Amino acid sequence: MRSSQQLRRDEPHGLSADLAHYWRDGYAVVRGFLSAAEIEEIRVALDQLYAEGTAHGRSFRHANLFYNVARDGEGEPLVRMVQWPSYHQPVLNRVRLDARFAELLEPLIGGDLKQIINQVHWKAPGSLGDFAWHQDSRSRRPPSAYRNLAAAYVQTGLAIDAHNAQSGAMRFIPGSHLAGDLDMDCSKHALGAAMTDGALKAVGLSASDAIDLALEPGDLALWSPYLVHGSGQNRSSHRRRFYINGYVRASDCDRGEWAFRDGKPVSFGPEPALVHNEELRERPGPHYVDD
């Protein structure tokens, strides 16, 4: 009997991204990356995760696993983001290691990949789920550990719900990645801060060039760490969920968890790897975190 890994290798899914578009505009979209049934399974997993976050009632960390919990206008807990849910949630862990990611990313960054981002965003209607204009490159610290960002890193976002202008879609400035690091002001957290035209003007860009990402559930967006992007208020009546996984050519990154070796999935090891949580070893938790 053939193993599922052999099946994956022998029977590719025929997935591909528009690479020319990715390199020229800094992003690409893959329609129908996951099926409706797969998205439904992820929704159930996300509902469990969300319920755990509200039960904590405040931000909570255990090693790399982190629940960002705010309060809404009525003082009720609001889960805005969970980082590294895959240590804890098997469905999400399976998705991040799905052979379709390896197949899609191979022509862009090869088959030996680490993962530096694994997170879910919930953008509640009307509330503070905005992301100010930013480049992801500014969060790759220290720079010596994250090398060759333009050619070796790809961020992916999987739409779990309708993701469009109404529901506070991501907004991209096409081509903005070509200038590399724009030294954008990152003194404030991008999450929870509104996009302002001034932030774009300061780096020679204009909001009139922005496009809204439009995704159906199951569609996947890919973007460059240098692409200037943000997202605005959710004016729809549904919570907008987005599952983000960021991959990197392993030889260009000293941090992160292995995801694929030679295109085959790599499970978590016994100890979590150092990614962005500088206190991972000294203060792994579990503990609550005050903003």
| CA–CA dist 71, 65 (Å, integer) | 20
- Judged by CB, which is closer to ligand AKG: 99, or 213? 213
* Residue 244 contacts ligand AKG per CB under 6 A: yes
Of all residues in the shown chain, the one whose CB is closest to ligand AKG is 231
Residue from 61, 121, 140, 177 binding ligand AKG (CB under 6 A): 121
In whole angstroms, how close is the CB of 191 to ligand AKG at the nearest point?
A: 8
* Residue 131 contacts ligand AKG per CB under 6 A: yes
- Judged by CB, which is closer to ligand AKG: 246, or 263? 246
In whole angstroms, how close is the CB of 7 to ligand AKG at the nearest point?
A: 32
- Judged by CB, which is closer to ligand AKG: 8, or 229? 229
- Judged by CB, which is closer to ligand AKG: 170, or 215? 170
- Judged by CB, which is closer to ligand AKG: 8, or 240? 240
In whole angstroms, how close is the CB of 130 to ligand AKG at the nearest point?
A: 8
In whole angstroms, how close is the CB of 232 to ligand AKG at the nearest point?
A: 8
The secondary structure of the chain as a DSSP string is: ---HHHHHHHS-------HHHHHHHSEEEETTSS-HHHHHHHHHHHHHHHHHHHHH-S-EEETTEEEEEEE-TTS-EEEEEEE-GGGT-HHHHHHHT-HHHHHHHHHHH-S-EEEEEEEEEEE-TTSS--EEEE-GGGGS-SGGGB--HHHHEEEEEEESS-BSGGGT-EEE-TTGGGG-------SS-SBT----HHHHHTTT--GGG-EE--B-TT-EEEE-TT--EEE----SSS-EEEEEEEEEEGGGBSSSEEEEETTEE----SSPPPSS-TTTTT----EE---
In whole angstroms, how close is the CB of 95 to ligand AKG at the nearest point?
A: 17
Q: Give me the sign of the Cα torsion angle 189, 274, 123, 245.
A: positive
Residue 186 contacts residue 167 (beta carbons within 8 Å): no
* Residue 136 contacts ligand AKG per CB under 6 A: yes
* Residue 170 contacts ligand AKG per CB under 6 A: yes
In whole angstroms, how close is the CB of 244 to ligand AKG at the nearest point?
A: 5
- Judged by CB, which is closer to ligand AKG: 193, or 266? 193
Q: How many residues does the chain have?
A: 291
- Judged by CB, which is closer to ligand AKG: 121, or 249? 121
Residue from 89, 93, 231, 236 binding ligand AKG (CB under 6 A): 231
Widest CA span in the chain: 60
In whole angstroms, how close is the CB of 143 to ligand AKG at the nearest point?
A: 18
Residues 6+ apart with CB under 8 A from 179: 226
* Residue 229 contacts ligand AKG per CB under 6 A: yes
- Judged by CB, which is closer to ligand AKG: 163, or 249? 163
* Residue 63 contacts ligand AKG per CB under 6 A: no
Positions that interact with ligand AKG (CB under 6 A): 121, 123, 131, 136, 170, 229, 231, 242, 244
